[in-house]
Structure 1
Amino acid sequence: MTPAEIPAELVDDVRILWDYHDLHHEPAPTDVGVGLGSHDLGVATRTAELYHAGYFARIVFTGANAPTTVQRFPRGEAVHYREHAEALGVPDEAVLVEPKATNTGENIEFTRRALHGAGIRPRSITLVSRPYQQRRAFATCRRTWPEVTVFCTSQRTSLHDYVTGIGDADRVINMLVGDTQRITAYATRGFIAPDVVPRHVRAAFQRLVAAGYTSRLVPE
């Protein structure tokens, strides 16, 4: 088994979490597209695709660095996202960079401030994130920026293809487990809007925690 392969005994549980976090929002025209910084350059690729398809005319890339991204994106996540989007044909004048956010709550709040500072007050936004971040990003925006209509999307890819592209199954599983926990933990702390975690999702989460996928859990 290669590092990019999910252990066979875990595939069903990993897929349950993967499907849970995909909100299946259909793209719709919005005022602004917001690419949430991370290690995944696919976020910038998807944002550029939607821009070229005419879903929005303005982009904000938001993100500083985390310990997991500083080597990959030494100039900051948002800066590298912008460079990637421009290489895909997005004009520089369409992109606003927010280079300071270090978590999803700051991504949303600092994006709002940057847009307002530029005289832009959107009524609707498209959040572009990693596939397993959609649900938490949506809940964060509902709490932090409730006056906007928000849609979420990610690169259209299968679980297998995503893990293969990242090249590290353990990392993806740990991130899925961590984001699942955050749906409840962050709602309890008031960071995000409450959401429902179905029973079968909770059971899959607990089995993966028992299997040792705990590196992205936050203290309760």
Structure 2
Amino acid sequence: MHDLPAIADYVLWQRGMFPKLLISGGATAGQAEPEAEVIAARLVEKGMPAEALLLERAATNTGENVIFARRLAEHALGKDSIESLLVIGKVCSMRRYLMTLERHWPQPRRFACAVNYFGVARERWHEHEEFRRRVLAEFTKIPAYLEQGFLRELDLDAD
């Protein structure tokens, strides 16, 4: 969970870009507290108004993050009111996040903010042991997830 404070801090920097923030994440990797609660607590501690937050606390993987978050957002905000999404997440997993959205929630316009908490530039990922490990793990996940129908390939030529 070392990356969660970095993500929360990045959200604060982006604060003026959105009226509501939906945070998705359940208890994973042996953690007792849902990721959404950890991020929300840091945001509130740093001055984010609690009423601006929507928390999805059950998701245990990226597919569930999107499916459960979509359900919560449509219920809380109205299905037709969601025109765009700003996805904030780990730099090493951003392509998979966007591919998951393409599969399970393709309608809103999507923007991505990749948080890099590794202390080395994104293009130098291969020089940092943990960054390299996480990027290479994505190379094994994405083809398997595509084959299973969890993801949809991105059209990089689209607007």
TM-score, with structure 1 as normaliser: 0.61
Give the structure 2 partner of residue 165 of structure 1: none
* Cα-to-partner distance string for 1:90-122 (whole Å, 9 max, x where unaligned): 100000110000000110110011112213331
Structure 1 residue aligned with 2:78, among 112, 120, 123? Answer: 120
Change (3 A) 1:187 1:159: farther
Q: Secondary structure at the match of 1:154?
A: strand
Give the structure 2 partner of residue 155 of structure 1: 115
TM-score, with structure 2 as normaliser: 0.82
Amino acid in structure 1 at the alignment position of 2:99: A
The within-5 A match list for 1:52-131 is: 54-67=16-29, 70=31, 74-121=32-79, 122-131=82-91
Query: Considering only CA atoms, is the larger Rg found in Structure 1 or Structure 2?
Result: 1
Change (3 A) 1:89 1:150: same
Is the CA contact (8 Å cut-off) linking 2:118 and 2:131 kept in structure 1?
no
Give the structure 2 partner of residue 179 of structure 1: 138
Aligned counterparts of 1:157 and 1:103: Cα–Cα separation in 2: 20
The within-5 A match list for 1:12-27 is: none
Q: Secondary structure at the match of 1:151?
A: strand
Change (3 A) 1:182 1:159: farther
Give the structure 2 partner of residue 31 of structure 1: none
Using the TM superposition, give the Cα deviation of residue 174 of structure 1 relative to its aligned residue in structure 2, in angstroms: 2.4
Amino acid in structure 2 at the alignment position of 1:138: L
Aligned counterparts of 1:129 and 1:123: Cα–Cα separation in 2: 20
Q: Secondary structure at the match of 1:115?
A: helix
Q: Secondary structure at the match of 2:150?
A: coil
Using the TM superposition, give the Cα deviation of residue 155 of structure 1 relative to its aligned residue in structure 2, in angstroms: 2.6
Greater share of helix: 2
- Count of matched residue positions in the alignment of Structure 1 and Structure 2: 147
Amino acid in structure 1 at the alignment position of 2:149: G
Change (3 A) 1:130 1:49: same
Aligned counterparts of 1:181 and 1:149: Cα–Cα separation in 2: 27
Identity of paired residues, percent? 27
Using the TM superposition, give the Cα deviation of residue 158 of structure 1 relative to its aligned residue in structure 2, in angstroms: 6.5
Q: Secondary structure at the match of 1:61?
A: strand
Q: Structure 1 unaligned runs (5+)?
A: 1-37, 163-168, 197-220
Q: Which has the higher contact order (CA 8 A, sep 6+)?
A: 1
Using the TM superposition, give the Cα deviation of residue 46 of structure 1 relative to its aligned residue in structure 2, in angstroms: 1.3
Q: Secondary structure at the match of 2:112?
A: strand
Using the TM superposition, give the Cα deviation of residue 48 of structure 1 relative to its aligned residue in structure 2, in angstroms: 1.9
Using the TM superposition, give the Cα deviation of residue 195 of structure 1 relative to its aligned residue in structure 2, in angstroms: 4.9
